[in-house]
Chain A
Amino acid sequence: MIAAHHICKSFGGIRAVDDCSLMLERGQILGLIGPNGAGKTTLFNILAGFMRPDSGRIELDGKEITGRRPHELFRRGLVRTFQIAHELARMTVLENLMVVPSGQSGESLLTAWFRPHHVARQERALRRRAEEVLARLKLSGLRFELAGNLSGGQKKLLELGRAMMTDAKVVLLDEIGAGVNRTLMAELAGYIEELNRDQGYTFCIIEHDMDLIARLCDPVIVMAEGRILARGSMAEIRANAMVVDAYLGGRRGS
């Protein structure tokens, strides 16, 4: 679905992403792990069009998308979330979700004037969908709260919710678990599994919560210092001495 070939990106003298290639196949949940500063988020930024690679080539469904802008990729069904939540602080939680889908008929002044019922119907459908997403994220009680008033973890949940509002087929999730309560995260893992199994979503997930990665992801790719250090199933990764040394650590992490 996504094929990235020999991606390189430097900042100043630092090679943040150094000759990385990866394949994300339809229906996969790919895990991307590695130490802080390994280049995972930079790679995400490149895949989702937020940064141009210095060299390398990216394909989405066989078509080259290297250097395409995020909104173009969004229209082609690729969406990403941010590690630091990007909520619209002065809008309510519900509004934050409802503004996500593109191509709403109310956005055109012409249809808003001449086909108001159509616009209203579409709004109602959106509202239903947003309410479903809120229920999953346990944020229903906060639907009319300004997003800026949410706690840190709740903002992360809203970030995931905004991705769930799209009909995107490939979703890149950047550390959605950080700062989210583990019990809720385990439930959200179930939600991600469902979206993957029943609705055909493909995921690529950056996450430091190894239980979450072990439960959801196959294959797992490990990055360190800009390069891909290892790839395989989580069991293979856990057995890889280099990975344990660079990333997982001895006791609590293993």
Chain B
Amino acid sequence: MSAPLLEASKLVGGYGGMDILNGVDIAVGSSEIVVIVGPNGAGKSTAMKAIVGLIPLKSGHVAFAGEDITGAAPEHLTARGIAYVPQERNVFRTLTVEENLAMGAYLRRDDIGPVTARIYELFPALKDKRRQRAGELSGGQRQMVAIGRALMIEPRLLLLDEPTVGLSPKVIEEIFERIQAINGAGVGILMVEQNARAALTIAHRGYVLATGRNRFADSAEALLANRDVAEAFLGGAGYGADA
């Protein structure tokens, strides 16, 4: 792993009285794609929310670029270069594509023309639809708007919570290709995925979480080759092998 950009250690926390995380460790290097996989209710989304300050931690630490950011508010993290795309309700449905992107640049005071142009380069489909309301777009295009909006701050780290949920195979392929391109431009990526096998094929490393703890942490190749991981979490050895 390259020098860790994000280092979350021994995260404990959850909602109300219930602990979902019971000591999760996650690190992401600045040039890495890292995937979190695991059963439903393992704490994958919760771990992400804890990292971006959306839920309070009972204990544990989060460091970003060497600086302690434990408990920092989401807006402060955005200013530091951490962007987060939640799983649901991640676009402003009544705003146009262009307005959605502009909302992502809320914190910026400089000219957002060049960065907007780069996002249209990354997602050409959005350029054609820039005056259309996000709520009228297909699922895949909406996801592109959500990712595009997150990129408007030119983040160093992008967190994606199930970016391909509910999308068709062809669109999943497209989204994963775009994620690789974003990573190629020097953005660290941390994503939760249930399309785990496909996600691991584009990732450098992966974590398997179960009941709020790290079960496995390894290179993506090693996880894909690990029979125990495949059986218990990826849908079996043969399942999805051609996907």
Chain B residues with CB under 8 A of A250: 173
The reply to whether B243 and A151 contact each other, CB–CB distance below 8 Å, is no
A248 vs B176: C-alpha distance in the bound complex, in angstroms? 14
* Among candidates B45, B138, B198, B236, residue contacting A252 with C-beta atoms closer than 8 Å: B198
Chain A residues with CB under 8 A of B235: 181-183, 185-186, 211
The reply to whether A210 and B243 contact each other, CB–CB distance below 8 Å, is yes
The reply to whether B40 and A36 contact each other, CB–CB distance below 8 Å, is no
The reply to whether A180 and B194 contact each other, CB–CB distance below 8 Å, is yes
- Once A180-B194, A250-B173 are accepted as A-B contacts, the answer to whether A175 and B166 lie under 8 Å apart by CB is yes
- Against B, the Cβ 8 Å flags (1 = close, 0 = not) of A165-184 are 00000000001001111111
* Among candidates B38, B46, B169, B240, residue contacting A247 with C-beta atoms closer than 8 Å: B169
B18 — nearest CB in chain A belongs to which residue? A149
Chain B residues with CB under 8 A of A185: 235
- Against A, the Cβ 8 Å flags (1 = close, 0 = not) of B148-169 are 0000000000000010011111
A98 vs B45: C-alpha distance in the bound complex, in angstroms? 29
The reply to whether B162 and A179 contact each other, CB–CB distance below 8 Å, is yes
The reply to whether B15 and A183 contact each other, CB–CB distance below 8 Å, is no
Q: In this assembly, does B140 line the interface, its C-beta being within 8 Å of a C-beta of chain A?
A: yes
Chain B residues with CB under 8 A of A233: none
Other than A36-B139, A247-B168, give 7 A-B pairs with Cβ distance below 8 A.
A157-B40, A182-B234, A185-B235, A246-B170, A247-B170, A248-B170, A254-B242
Q: Can you report 19 A-B residue pairs in the complex whose CB atoms are below 8 A from each other?
A: A36-B138, A36-B167, A151-B46, A152-B40, A152-B162, A154-B40, A180-B194, A182-B197, A182-B234, A182-B239, A183-B232, A208-B169, A211-B240, A247-B168, A248-B169, A249-B169, A249-B171, A253-B173, A254-B242
* Among candidates A138, A149, A181, A253, residue contacting B243 with C-beta atoms closer than 8 Å: A253
- Against A, the Cβ 8 Å flags (1 = close, 0 = not) of B15-26 are 110100000000
A254 vs B168: C-alpha distance in the bound complex, in angstroms? 12
The reply to whether B172 and A252 contact each other, CB–CB distance below 8 Å, is yes
A145 — nearest CB in chain B belongs to which residue? B18
A175 vs B234: C-alpha distance in the bound complex, in angstroms? 18
Inter-chain CB contacts under 8 Å: number = 119
A246 vs B46: C-alpha distance in the bound complex, in angstroms? 35
Which of B39, B45, B233: most chain A Cβ within 10 A?
B39
A248 — nearest CB in chain B belongs to which residue? B169
- Against B, the Cβ 8 Å flags (1 = close, 0 = not) of A57-96 are 0000000000000000000000000010000000000000
- Once A36-B167, A247-B170, A253-B243 are accepted as A-B contacts, the answer to whether A183 and B233 lie under 8 Å apart by CB is yes
Least Cβ–Cβ distance between A150 and chain B, in angstroms: 7
A33 vs B234: C-alpha distance in the bound complex, in angstroms? 22
**B residues 217-235 touching A (CB-CB < 8 Å):** 231-235
Q: In this assembly, does A116 line the interface, its C-beta being within 8 Å of a C-beta of chain B?
A: no
The reply to whether B194 and A208 contact each other, CB–CB distance below 8 Å, is no
The reply to whether A35 and B168 contact each other, CB–CB distance below 8 Å, is yes
A182 vs B88: C-alpha distance in the bound complex, in angstroms? 20
